A and B are shown apart, each in its own frame.
Chain A
Amino acid sequence: MSSTNVLLSIIIPIAGSLSILVWRRKQAHFALFTAAAAFLSVTWLIPPAMRGETFVSPYFMADGLSVFFAAISSLVGALIVLYSIGYMKKYRNLTEYYFCVTLFIGSMLGLVFSANLILVYVFWEMAAICSWRLIGFHRGEKDIWAANKAFLITFLGASVMLVGFVMVYLDAGTFNLAELRGSGITGLAFLLIFIGIMAKSCVFPLHTWLPDAGIAPSPVTALLHAAVLVKIGIYGYARFFCDVFRIPQEAGRYVAALAITSAVIAGCSALRERNIKRILAYSTISQLAFILFGLAVTGVIGMTGALLFIFAHALGKAGLFLCAGIIEQKTGTKDIKQMGGMMKVLPVTGVASALCALSVAGIPPLAGFWGKFLIIVGPIKEHQFIFAGLAVASCILTLLYLIRLFDTVFLGDVSHPGISERSSSLMLISVSVLALLSLLGGIFAGIPGEFVQVVRDQIMVLR
Chain B
Amino acid sequence: MLALSIVLIPMTAAIVSLVLGKMSSRRVRDYFAVAAALITFAVTLLLIPGVRNGPIHFKLWEMFGISGMAISVNVDGLSLFMSCLISFMGFLAALYSLAYMGKEENLNFYYFLMLVFIGSMNGAVIAGDLASFFLFWEIMTISSFLLVIFNGSLEARKAGIKYFIMTASGSLLMLLSIGALYAATGTMSIPVLISQGIGMNSWLIHLVLLLFLIGLGIKAGIVPLHTWLPDAYPAAPSPISSLMSGVMIKVGIYMILRVLCQIFSVTVSWNLVVCFLGVLTILIGVIFAMVQHDAKRLLAFHSISQIGYIILGIGIGTTLGIGGALFHVINHAFFKGLLFLCIGAVIYRTGERNLDKLGGLAKVMPITFVTCLVASLSISGVPPFNGFASKWIIYQALIEKGGFLHMMFLAAAMFGSALTLASFLKLIHTVFLGGGSGAKVHPRGGEVSWMMSLPMVVLAGLCIVLGVFAFQVPLKCFVSPVLLAMNYQPLSTFAGFFNPMLAAGLLILGLAAGLVIYLLGNLKSARTDMPYVGGEILDDEVMSGITAEHFYDTIKEVEPFAYLYEREEAGRLDLYQTTMGGVRNTSRFVFERIEQSVDKLYAGLIRAGEYLVRELRKIHSGILPSYIYWVLVGLVILVFLLMR
Q: Which of B63, B138, B176, B586 contacts A388 (CB 8 A)?
A: B176
Residues of A within 8 A of B172 (CB): 376, 392, 395-396
Q: Are A265 and B157 in contact (CB under 8 A)?
A: no
| A269-B591, A388-B176, A392-B173 given; A399·B154 CB < 8 A | no
Q: Which of A385, A399, A452, A457 contacts B165 (CB 8 A)?
A: A399
Residues of A within 8 A of B602 (CB): 149, 153, 208
- Would you give the shortest CB distance from B383 to chain A, in whole angstroms? 44
Measured between alpha carbons, how far is A64 from B583 in the docked complex, in Å? 41
- Would you give the shortest CB distance from A371 to chain B, in whole angstroms? 10
Q: Chain B: interface secondary structure?
A: helix
Within 8 A of A (CB), among B64-89: 64-66
Chain B residue at smallest Cβ distance from A448: B64
Q: Which of B152, B154, B179, B592 contacts A377 (CB 8 A)?
A: B179
Within 8 A of B (CB), among A149-171: 149, 153
Q: Are A403 and B142 in contact (CB under 8 A)?
A: no
The answer, yes or no, to whether B548 is at the interface (CB within 8 Å) is no
The answer, yes or no, to whether A328 is at the interface (CB within 8 Å) is no
The answer, yes or no, to whether A380 is at the interface (CB within 8 Å) is yes
Residues of B within 8 A of A395 (CB): 172
Q: Are B182 and A381 in contact (CB under 8 A)?
A: yes
- Some 22 contacts from A to B, beta carbons below 8 A apart, are A153-B602, A204-B598, A205-B598, A205-B601, A208-B602, A268-B587, A268-B590, A271-B587, A272-B591, A363-B141, A363-B168, A364-B135, A373-B131, A373-B135, A376-B172, A377-B175, A380-B179, A392-B175, A392-B176, A396-B168, A403-B164, A449-B63
Residues of B within 8 A of A389 (CB): 176
Chain A residue at smallest Cβ distance from B586: A268
Q: Which of B61, B138, B173 contacts A369 (CB 8 A)?
A: B138
Q: Are A268 and B183 in contact (CB under 8 A)?
A: no
| A269-B591, A373-B134, A392-B173 given; A358·B179 CB < 8 A | no
The answer, yes or no, to whether B607 is at the interface (CB within 8 Å) is no
Within 8 A of B (CB), among A343-369: 358, 363-365, 369
A-B CB contacts (within 8 Å), total count: 117
The answer, yes or no, to whether B594 is at the interface (CB within 8 Å) is yes
The answer, yes or no, to whether B374 is at the interface (CB within 8 Å) is no
Q: Are B135 and A272 in contact (CB under 8 A)?
A: no
Residues of B within 8 A of A385 (CB): 176, 180
Measured between alpha carbons, how far is A411 from B157 in the docked complex, in Å? 8
| B180, B592, B601 — most chain A CB neighbours (10 Å) | B180
- Would you give the shortest CB distance from B589 to chain A, in whole angstroms? 8
Q: Which of A380, A392, A446 contacts B182 (CB 8 A)?
A: A380
Residues of A within 8 A of B63 (CB): 370, 449
Measured between alpha carbons, how far is A380 from B185 in the docked complex, in Å? 12
Residues of A within 8 A of B168 (CB): 363, 396, 399
Measured between alpha carbons, how far is A376 from B601 in the docked complex, in Å? 33
- Would you give the shortest CB distance from B68 to chain A, in whole angstroms? 10
Measured between alpha carbons, how far is A269 from B588 in the docked complex, in Å? 8
Measured between alpha carbons, how far is A456 from B141 in the docked complex, in Å? 31
Residues of A within 8 A of B65 (CB): 453, 457
Residues of A within 8 A of B586 (CB): 268
Known: A369-B138, A403-B161, A411-B149. 11 other contacts (CB 8 A): A149-B602, A268-B587, A272-B591, A364-B135, A364-B138, A374-B64, A376-B172, A377-B175, A377-B179, A403-B165, A407-B161
Measured between alpha carbons, how far is A380 from B183 in the docked complex, in Å? 6
- Would you give the shortest CB distance from A73 to chain B, in whole angstroms? 22
Question: Would you give the 0/1 interface string for A383-422, flagging 1 where the beta carbon is closer than 8 Å to chain B?
Answer: 1010011001001110110010001000110000000000
The answer, yes or no, to whether B599 is at the interface (CB within 8 Å) is yes
Question: Would you give the 0/1 interface string for A423-463, flagging 1 where the beta carbon is closer than 8 Å to chain B?
Answer: 00000000000000000000000100100110011000000
Using C-beta atoms within 8 Å of the partner chain, give the interface range for chain A.
Answer: 35 or more
Q: Which of B165, B173, B175, B588 contacts A400 (CB 8 A)?
A: B165
Q: Are B595 and A265 in contact (CB under 8 A)?
A: yes
Chain A residue at smallest Cβ distance from B204: A385
Within 8 A of A (CB), among B174-210: 175-176, 178-180, 182-183
| A395-B172, A403-B161 given; A452·B134 CB < 8 A | no
Q: Are B590 and A208 in contact (CB under 8 A)?
A: no
Q: Which of B134, B173, B180, B594 contacts A265 (CB 8 A)?
A: B594
Chain B residue at smallest Cβ distance from A383: B183
Measured between alpha carbons, how far is A396 from B173 in the docked complex, in Å? 10
Within 8 A of A (CB), among B574-591: 583-584, 586-588, 590-591
- Would you give the shortest CB distance from B41 to chain A, in whole angstroms? 23
Q: Are A411 and B182 in contact (CB under 8 A)?
A: no
Measured between alpha carbons, how far is A143 from B152 in the docked complex, in Å? 38
Measured between alpha carbons, how far is A184 from B601 in the docked complex, in Å? 35
- Would you give the shortest CB distance from A303 to chain B, in whole angstroms? 10
Residues of A within 8 A of B182 (CB): 377, 380-381
Measured between alpha carbons, how far is A446 from B131 in the docked complex, in Å? 15
Residues of A within 8 A of B131 (CB): 373
Residues of A within 8 A of B61 (CB): 446
The answer, yes or no, to whether B626 is at the interface (CB within 8 Å) is no
Measured between alpha carbons, how far is A373 from B586 in the docked complex, in Å? 25
Residues of B within 8 A of A456 (CB): 64
The answer, yes or no, to whether A300 is at the interface (CB within 8 Å) is yes
| A304-B64, A392-B172, A453-B64 given; A412·B157 CB < 8 A | yes
Q: Are B591 and A449 in contact (CB under 8 A)?
A: no
Measured between alpha carbons, how far is A358 from B61 in the docked complex, in Å? 24
Question: Would you give the 0/1 interface string for A250-294, flagging 1 where the beta carbon is closer than 8 Å to chain B?
Answer: 000000000000001111110110000000000000000000000
Residues of B within 8 A of A268 (CB): 586-587, 590-591, 595
Q: Are B176 and A364 in contact (CB under 8 A)?
A: no
- Would you give the shortest CB distance from A260 to chain B, in whole angstroms? 14
Measured between alpha carbons, how far is A303 from B176 in the docked complex, in Å? 18
Question: Would you give the 0/1 interface string for A309-331, flagging 1 where the beta carbon is closer than 8 Å to chain B?
Answer: 00000000000000000000000
Measured between alpha carbons, how far is A392 from B152 in the docked complex, in Å? 29
Q: Are A400 and B583 in contact (CB under 8 A)?
A: yes
The answer, yes or no, to whether A238 is at the interface (CB within 8 Å) is no
Measured between alpha carbons, how far is A412 from B151 in the docked complex, in Å? 10
The answer, yes or no, to whether B107 is at the interface (CB within 8 Å) is no
- Of all A-B residue pairs in the complex, the 3 with the closest CB atoms, nearest first, are A380-B179, A268-B587, A268-B590
Q: Are B64 and A449 in contact (CB under 8 A)?
A: yes
The answer, yes or no, to whether A301 is at the interface (CB within 8 Å) is yes
Residues of B within 8 A of A264 (CB): 590
Q: Are A412 and B154 in contact (CB under 8 A)?
A: yes
Q: Are A358 and B598 in contact (CB under 8 A)?
A: no
Q: Are A381 and B183 in contact (CB under 8 A)?
A: yes
| B65, B138, B139, B178 — most chain A CB neighbours (10 Å) | B65
Chain B residue at smallest Cβ distance from A392: B172
The answer, yes or no, to whether B499 is at the interface (CB within 8 Å) is no
Question: Would you give the 0/1 interface string for B491-518, flagging 1 where the beta carbon is closer than 8 Å to chain A?
Answer: 0000000000000000000000000000
Q: Are B590 and A269 in contact (CB under 8 A)?
A: yes
Residues of A within 8 A of B584 (CB): 271
Chain B residue at smallest Cβ distance from A366: B142
Residues of B within 8 A of A301 (CB): 66
Within 8 A of B (CB), among A86-121: none
Q: Are B590 and A380 in contact (CB under 8 A)?
A: no
- Would you give the shortest CB distance from A376 to chain B, in whole angstroms? 5
- Would you give the shortest CB distance from A297 to chain B, in whole angstroms? 12
Q: Which of A153, A267, A300, A392 contacts B66 (CB 8 A)?
A: A300
Within 8 A of A (CB), among B556-614: 583-584, 586-588, 590-592, 594-595, 598-599, 601-602
Q: Which of A205, A265, A364, A374 contacts B139 (CB 8 A)?
A: A364
Q: Are B161 and A376 in contact (CB under 8 A)?
A: no
- Would you give the shortest CB distance from B585 to chain A, in whole angstroms? 10
| A268-B595, A396-B169 given; A388·B179 CB < 8 A | yes
Measured between alpha carbons, how far is A392 from B66 in the docked complex, in Å? 21
- Would you give the shortest CB distance from A403 to chain B, in whole angstroms? 6
Q: Are A208 and B599 in contact (CB under 8 A)?
A: yes
Q: Which of A358, A370, A376, A397 contacts B175 (CB 8 A)?
A: A376
Residues of B within 8 A of A269 (CB): 587, 590-591, 595
Residues of B within 8 A of A149 (CB): 602
